[in-house]
Amino acid sequence: MKEARLYKKLNDKNVECLLCSHRCHIKNGHKGLCGVRENSDGTLRTLVYGSLIAEAIDPIEKKPFFHYLPGSSSYSVSTVGCNFRCLHCQNFNISQMPKSKEGNRIVGTPTTPEEIVEKVSASGCASIAYTYTEPTIFFEYAYDTARLAHKRGIKNLFVTNGFMTKECIAEMTGVIDAANVDIKAFTEDFYKKVCGARLAPVLKSIEYLRAAGIWVEVTTLIIPGYNDSEEELREIARWIASTDNSMPWHVSAFYPTYKLLDSSPTPPATLIRAREIGLEEGLRYVYTGNIPGMDGESTYCYSCKAQLIERFGFKIVKNRISEGRCPECKSPVDGLFT
């Protein structure tokens, strides 16, 4: 087991983990809420370093990133574990594994950061996405991999619930290039009951990430009966716009899964209205997701409304952006396109 980063030794061999906003106080011999960080005689250790549970080559649009190297491939990696307990988690079999009734299952294929980077380099992928579960909880593994990747000219992406601390984001600066952050809802009640977490630290994280120069895109999975009211969607859009209206907002369709089976799939009309609300509130880019073929999948110039990138699902049909600008009115398009 590798010693963890970002923790503080307390008295009586207790420690405080400073990695995520739970800031767990962990007694000797116990684990944090994520289930993958353990206090061993006053030293906090990560249990998942070098244990790869999932890897795949994905379109970067699947993460989703629409304004960061669109059309490229990203090498996705993950360990087990998560600091949330979302009732609608799509990857609950690995995210909740260390906290399952079977208990204490830290599994994965032994893989060093060097081996990951070699695989990525051989694949021709432009980036590594730390995803599938919450990358914050395997930060040491991601950090060491990301530093090696940068030496090869490979970008690093976090797909995250945004519950990391300011201290963690300071460590990420200059190592992680872009983040897609979930704003799962805009009420503390939802975060507490559905995710076992809090909203406020997520919003602060987005502010810190932007201040650190990390490109940010935001995703909201719209769940009928939980977070789909026009009022709540408008509050999310208004907050994003007030923070930085160039941050793309992805509004995605929900499908019943895991423990959240009492809600129906998101109607296309709800996504269409959410996109309208985002644009009404001044966001430059709002995208609909999880229902291929909708007009909201494509990128449009915020200035002249010309179509810049035509998409179908995760596939780019046409990309008209030239040198980071709209070919019609020459307005700059926010993001990284080459």
Average pLDDT score over the chain: 96
Q: Bridge-partner residues for 8, per DSSP?
A: 16
- The confidence score (pLDDT) of residue 105 equals 72
* Model confidence at 101: pLDDT above 70: no
Average pLDDT value for residue range 5-29: 97
* Model confidence at 206: pLDDT above 60: yes
The CATH number of domain 51-297, selected from 3.40.50.300, 1.10.132.20, 3.90.79.10, 3.20.20.70: 3.20.20.70
**63, two tokens:** 């993460």
Helical H runs in 185-317? 188-190, 200-211, 230-244, 268-280
Q: pLDDT grade, residue 338 (50/70/90)?
A: confident
Q: pLDDT grade, residue 99 (50/70/90)?
A: confident
Which residues make up the CATH 3.20.20.70 domain(s) of the chain? 51-297
Q: How far is 136 from 159, CA to CA, in rounded Å? A: 9
Q: pLDDT grade, residue 130 (50/70/90)?
A: very high
